[in-house]
Structure formats: C-alpha cells, structure tokens
Structure 1
Amino acid sequence: MTNTTTAATKLDLTKIKPYGDTMNDGQVQMSFTLPVPAGEEANEAARLLMKQMGFSEPSVVYFKDLGIGYTYFVCYGKTTHTVDYTSIKVTKVEVDIMDRLECEKYIEENIKRTVTMVGASTGTDAHTVGIDAIMNMKGFHGHFGLERYHGVNAINMGSQVPNEELIAKAIETKADAILVSQTVTQKDVHIPNLTQMVELCEAEGIRDKIVLVCGGPRISHELAQELGYDAGFGPNTHAEDVASFILTEVVRRGLV
C-alpha cells in the first residue's frame, strides 16, 4: 500500500516555523529601508540589524540605492522562534457567506423590500479602490459589486467625503447600512476619523437604527468592534462578504 501521509499531517501545529526550502527551516525574507547611502557599510548595517532582531545566518541578497541617502534592502535570515497555531483565537466576522444570487433571494424572502447601503472613503482619504471594489457594479476580480445586486440600492459617494455628509446621505435615503472605507492609514489617521463617525451617528440618534461597517488594509473585525462598529473587513474582502453580514444583521436586529 502506498504511504500517502504528507509532511503537513506530521507537522506539530503547536510549534510551527516559517518554511523556506525545507519544513521548519525558519527561513524568512524581509525587506526594509535604512536612511543611509548605498554601499558596503549600508549592507553590513542591514545584516547586523537582522542579527539583532534574532535571525541567524542573516544575509543581504539585494539592495537598491533610493537616492538622497536612503537604501532599500531584501534580506534573508533564519528564526528559531515558533508559534502554537492551535492556541490562536481570532475575532472575525461570523456569518455564512452567500453569493450574489443567494443574497438576492435572502432579501426577497426575509426583508421583502429594497435595502439601501451608502458608502464612501471618508475624511482626507482620496483612494476609492476599496469602496469601489465592494460597491461598483463591476466589483473586483470576478466578484460583482453591490450595485449589481437586485434588491440593493447601493450609493457610492466616492472619496474625501466628510463624515457629516455621509451620515446626512444615510438619513436622507433612510439607509440600512453605512460603509466606511479607509485606505490611507499612515500614523493611524484612520482611528480618529472612524471614531468620529460613530460619535456623529450616536449624536444624530441613528446608531441603533443602522448597520455600521468599515473596511481597509489595516482594518480588522476586532478593531472595528473596539471603535463601535458592527463589523470590520480587511484585505481580500468581496461584496458578498459585506452583503451577507449586512443583510443577516438587518434581519437579526429587526430592522426590516
């Protein structure tokens, strides 16, 4: 009989390490920039920094002079540290994901009216890639956006929309949900902006009457809940993920 046991089935999940060439070799690739001019001294500085981070056998495999005294590095090194994968608990959105047609059927059978969702990239954020991927008809990577969903009135207000304007549009349209996208997050600028949105919703008396969600590259469900949102969606989120949560939440909270 052929032995079909794989390396993965033999792996001790209580002590996992990065994988490079062989299982548990601890090999890591890291890139970073140092504020020093390119040269042998810069490469040695990068190597020593990797060593101080706890990596063994550190090496600089690529460097690029960025000009004006900065150098970009790609380095390799091995770590001896492990993680107990079995002990990890992640706060995440718990919902059965429905595809577009299933969402449309859910609306027809459980809500029996058009569901209005308004969204925008708020504050100073000029990037619409996130909100467009969720709301625009064409969506992203074969996942159609909310504008294509029958039974959904999707209103995408674009970028750099003040929180006050987004809330005003939600009140005007009697929206069931507000979607806030935050792509620009340098220096945690998204935190006060997201916080203000919740505070304004509470001040307008609509917080308990609306499903409030946010998303972006540095958004997690845990962070969103800490800030007062119903859900948070990070990278690799599609329209059906957001729609499934909003629709089931509308029903769960009796907002039909």
Structure 2
Amino acid sequence: MSASTQPDIIRPYGDTTGDGMVQVSFTLPVPHDKRAEGAALQLAAKMGLEPALLVHAKAMGPDFTFFVVYGSAKHLVDLREVTVVEREFPLLTPTEVNKAIKSRLRRKLVVVGACIGTDAHTVGIDAILNIKGFAGEKGLEYYREVKVVNLGAQVLVPELVERARAEKADAVMVSQVVTQRDAHIHNTTTMSAAFREAYPAGQVPLLVVGGPRFEEGSAARLGVDRIFGRGTTPGEVASYLVHALAPTKGAPAKNAPTKNAPTKGAPSTTKEKA
C-alpha cells in the first residue's frame, strides 16, 4: 500500500491485518506461582489487551516474576496526530565538514565529551568521538578540523564545566545511558544549569546530549541545544555542529564563533580515559 492510500487510523498487526495483536513484557514484585500469573493477566486486561495470553513467566529471584503477554489491543492509532522531529540540516561528508569549519570558523572546532554522574557506559560517547566511529562512519577524531577532548566516564559536572572553559569548547557532548529513576534527566538538567551559571549569557557552549531514553523534542525543557537518540551516527553529529556553529554566510550561529581564540600548536585530538 502506497503512502498516498495509507489509512489515517491503524491497529497493530500480529497474525492478520488489523487484529491488534501486541506483545508486552513486565516484572511484578511477587513470587512466581499461579497467583502471580493471574495478576499478570489482570494487568494485561487493564492495559486493554483482550483476550490476553501469558506466553512466558520466569522467577527473578524469590520475590519477583518476569512476564511476557500476547494479546489484542483495543486501542487505535491516529497517524494524523503523530508528530516527528525532522532534521533541519543537511548531512555532510567529512570533507565538507572540514571545509566548512576551516572556511567559516578559520580555526579548529573544539568538542569536549563525557559521561557524567555515575554513568560508566562510554559506548555511546566513544561511538561518536573515537576515530573508529559507528555504523561504518569514523568518529569526530577523524575530522582534521575538529579538536576532540574525551573525558571518559563518571565525570563530575563541575569537572566538565572547568575543562570546557579551559579548552574554550565550542560544544559539550554528554552521553547518558543509565536511566534508572530518571538519572539521565536529573544529570542533564544539572549539567545545563551549571554551564549557564558558569558562563556569561550568550556564551554558553553548544550543549548536546545523547542516549536511548531521551524524548525527541525535549531539548528546551532540559536546557540543552540538541538531543540525539539511538542510532545516531558521527556524520549526523558533525553535520549538526557545522549547522549550529559554522553556518553559511548570513545564517545565525548558536554563539559567535569568535569567542574562542585559535590554539596554536595544539594537537587536533586529546584523549583521556576515566
């Protein structure tokens, strides 16, 4: 079915078109027994799955049970009410990124990256910054006109602010994978507040965060300039940095690019690990 003939109201697909079948998983704080399985089916019914079939139940220690339930959802999806955050900048090649930075900034673009708080998962930040990159694309260390300072994991917010000031960072990139009790939200808002307190108005570096649990469109609420979710590639991030910090003539930049003086003799990449 082509996009032009696609209906506005749809239901999930399982065995047959429009049958509404979905599969959900969850954990209940009860020991695994028949009563626990009945509780899982009761929850499924209250979620709008009817009829619901319990397809998997496994004890998670003595006091918890993990369930997988399969059933038909009553709810409909209205495609007209779906909102999508569209990418507002073109994707550039590494050559185009380097050329844009060199011709428009006339110096290296400085990026400081870290995992903050207690987050020790560097896979995300390394995928964007490390030269080996991600999804077949080389990381920002590969770009000759970008100076990368990777602080690694479990970096305290005051340390990140201090290093960003010392490096005269154009952009600060933070990865947050740990999401228990909304730790990623708390860490991000704390970080953004700290930068706005430490910098004069209008001179705060570009604040970019990434992680699998951030909601699209929540950047303003969290006090940052951009949020990247799962599947983001280094090329997409590099293109955004050019769009925000080294725009074409006449286009507004996030901050005036002259706020940082060129660093003579500085290496193009500084790598530190926590």
Does the TM-score normalized on the shorter chain lie above 0.5? Answer: yes
Q: Which range is displaced more, 196-205 or 73-82?
A: 196-205
Please state how far the C-alpha of 1:104 moved relative to its aligned partner.
2.2
Point out the more displaced range, 179-188 or 98-107. 98-107
Q: SS of the residue aligned with 1:48?
A: helix
Q: Which stretch shifts more, 89-98 or 236-245?
A: 89-98
What's the CA shift for 1:244? 1.2
Two-structure CA RMSD over aligned residues (Å): 1.9
- 2:15 corresponds to which of 15, 21, 25: 21
- For residues 157-180 of structure 1, the C-alpha deviation after alignment (integer angstroms, 9 at most, x for no partner) is 001111111111111111110111
**How far apart are residue 37 of structure 1 and its match?**
2.1
Residue 173 of structure 1 aligns with which residue? Answer: 167
- Residue 100 of structure 2 is aligned to residue 100 of structure 1: no
Matched, 1:154 2:148: yes
Give, in whole Å, the separation in 2 of the partners of 1:130 and 1:20.
Answer: 33
Q: What is the aligned partner in structure 2 of residue 255 from structure 1?
A: 257
Residue matched to 1:49: 43
- Contact 1:201/1:207, CA 8 A, preserved across alignment: no
Query: 1:229 Cα deviation (Å)?
Result: 0.9
Residue matched to 2:121: 127
Structure 2: gaps spanning 5 or more residues: 247-251, 259-274
Deviates more, 1:110-119 or 1:152-161: 110-119
Separation in 2 of the partners of 1:99 and 1:85? 34
Deviations 1:67-117 (A, max 9, x none): 212221111011121121123223455222223333223223333321110
The structure 2 residue matched to 1:139, chosen from 133, 141, 155, is: 133
1:216 corresponds to which residue?
Answer: 211
How many residues are matched?
Answer: 250
C-alpha change, 1:207 and 1:126, in structure 2 (3 Å) is farther
Alpha-carbon shift at residue 9 of structure 1 (Å)? 5.9
- Give the whole-Å Cα distance in 2 for the aligned partners of 1:227 and 1:69: 36
**Conservation of the 8 A alpha-carbon contact between 1:137 and 1:144:** yes
Between 224-233 and 100-109, report the one with greater CA deviation: 100-109
The CA distance in 2 between the partners of 1:23 and 1:115, in whole Å, is 51
Deviates more, 1:38-47 or 1:20-29: 38-47
Distance in 2 (CA, whole Å) between partners of 1:40 and 1:141 is: 45
Counterpart in 1 of 2:261? none
Helix, strand or coil at the partner of 2:54: strand
Partner in structure 2 of residue 3 of structure 1: none
> Structure 1 residues 7, 69: closer, same or farther in 2, change over 3 A?
farther
Q: How big is the shift at 1:146?
A: 0.8
Gap change, CA 1:7 and 1:115, over 3 Å in 2: closer
Correspondence 1:11-90 to 2 at 5 A: 11-12=6-7, 14-90=8-84
| Equivalent residue number for residue 197 of structure 1 | 191
Cα 1:22–1:248 change in 2 (3 A) is same
TM, length-normalised to structure 1: 0.90
**What is the CA-CA distance between 1:145 and the residue it aligns to?**
1.1
Structure number with higher helix proportion: 1
Cα distance in 2 for residues equivalent to 1:44 and 1:174: 59
Distance across 2 between alignment mates of 1:206 and 1:197: 16
1:101 alignment partner AA: T
* Secondary structure of residue in 2 paired with 1:222: coil
Deviation at 1:138, TM superposition (A): 0.8
C-alpha displacement of 1:65: 2.0
| Match of residue 183 from structure 1 | 177
For 2:38 and 2:218, the matched residues in 1 are separated by 38
- Give the corresponding residue for 2:266: none
Distance 1:96 1:255, change over 3 A: same
Percent identity between the two aligned chains: 42
| Residue identity opposite 1:249 in structure 2 | A
